[in-house]
Structure 1
């Protein structure tokens, strides 16, 4: 019996050293989760029969985050796993955030070629619809089509202490008929750029009027105009502060029809300065690149300066992540012990957060592993010594005469 006890100790210590060796070997593997071994004793009645390995559990604590600058590296911190699919439809989960693109623009796991999954934006312009199905994430490289501007807004200030009161009829060609002018650009349905000129005239002390004109394709009907009313605090005081700008068709486009909101303009002392706050519409754009944000959004960038969300990475978690079935290559699969997965987005609910252009390192503590290796080595030596002692005792008994 003593031989079997010592032998069980040798086997247990050997397996423990295997776990330590595996941890050390993967100390530089991105997203690797170190393992720890658990032992239990064996009994027959009241007699101990030795030790056995109860199991090897993985530690899902965070690894350190390292910035790489590569747009297909993604670090995951705290709870959650990347959800990936094989070509055959098998579902796997992992923490290694090293990804690549295949020839079709799908984001794939660098090690296994598994497809990263999430919500794909659809429609024009592309949007992620609530309840969209989870599937492969693909980076579309199509050009961005033009879109006509229909609304925008301005902000800034008109000089309250301007002494120049203008009573002559407005004429955009005569600077003496307006106090201040500004201009913005807007696109039509073909992506042509239209220069919109805005003129501001002080018609009486503290009273202003705005004029707008499409300088690129002017409407023969004339100017758009709007009387501006301010309160005693210098803010716009009118229910509708929109001025409508109309332009003619340019190169076969739809005629421009643009509403500009002037409610952000103030009347304070100081210089006049009016500028564009925001405007919709866009010129056509060539696909340039993409970035993955910390919220898991995949955002494409275009030559026209626009950015567009094309996909959203989904994360998976389990009631008991310790029950996942290891598949090798830093992958796990669902098992009865893990429970069924539930899905969510970065930073929502109990899910952890993503960090783009970064990688999560291994969570192996090399110092602790070296200490464990010494302990298990001593344990191995001690068990071998019990076998040696039992052997010597047996030899003594055999030699008795």
Structure 2
């Protein structure tokens, strides 16, 4: 069994087109939630989202590549490219043949599908774009990463709603730890800003009409986001041997199913996933100093997550710092866990805990230290990153500071 470290991170989100911009926004409590610009929202009751603004595909890809890649797949490749560059991977044919690429996506290229349906049902066309299938398939992100870097090892995509990329990172971690893969690129990507998708979320009545206020008494729902996050995972001994700089150590992964309701969470499932992550990482509850919460700002999620944290940590829950970075980058669905994993890793590395932005008034039911509005300097030994999905599927990642 190998110790596994993170040697590279990549992010594109509403908070910036790279990790540096993302981290700068997090530490200053800057929200990327604004009025949606990329589509006409006149038919939608909510007007705000966390879009990747100023993104011009032609600045990153050749025209022939753009024609083959939906927005979500472009995000996946860009974040993987950044993570691989930071890790300083020196590719050999043997490494390419064994490296794993595991991604998560809730929707895949559903926007490309919608464009085709629009032409069929609205414009009376009899054909759709001939590349609709490769554009829309959920594994396109993983496939394009493999093609971009010539990776020929195990590659697949996990779709477990909002836990997708946390599951992907956890599976990749286990593969590297066991020796099944000498290196893994893992994370997730999402691009949900298209009319049909937004109307579907509108119908659920869980989207805020103003902004995202996790754990605040005034919270009124989630705000959708987009983007991607990717990690490079490798054995500690291999990283040190080639002179790489570990950013953090990934030590545990826990997952569970509520076996309850398709949309209404219960505390037992999230509690079990957190306990399993601690057990897998050989961590005691007292070693955890911070939790990057799932924190969607819906009434049910924040209440249930608070109860689950109290259940797992007991009296130590009052000493934990807990924040939801969705208050700034929005809920990126299948990419959320990966984006939040990057945030957690950077928090450990830099000794800064990002805030829960947009916070107004404490909710007595959510009686946690949620780091309201301003980042906090704090050296933390270990942290958890929580991802809880519709369908009652839960994934929790445990990281330790690398010193």
Tell which structure's C-alpha radius of gyration is larger: 1
TM-score, scaled to structure 1? 0.23
TM-score, scaled to structure 2? 0.23
Of Structure 1 and Structure 2, which has the larger fraction of its residues in strand? Answer: 1
Of Structure 1 and Structure 2, which has the larger fraction of its residues in helix? Answer: 2
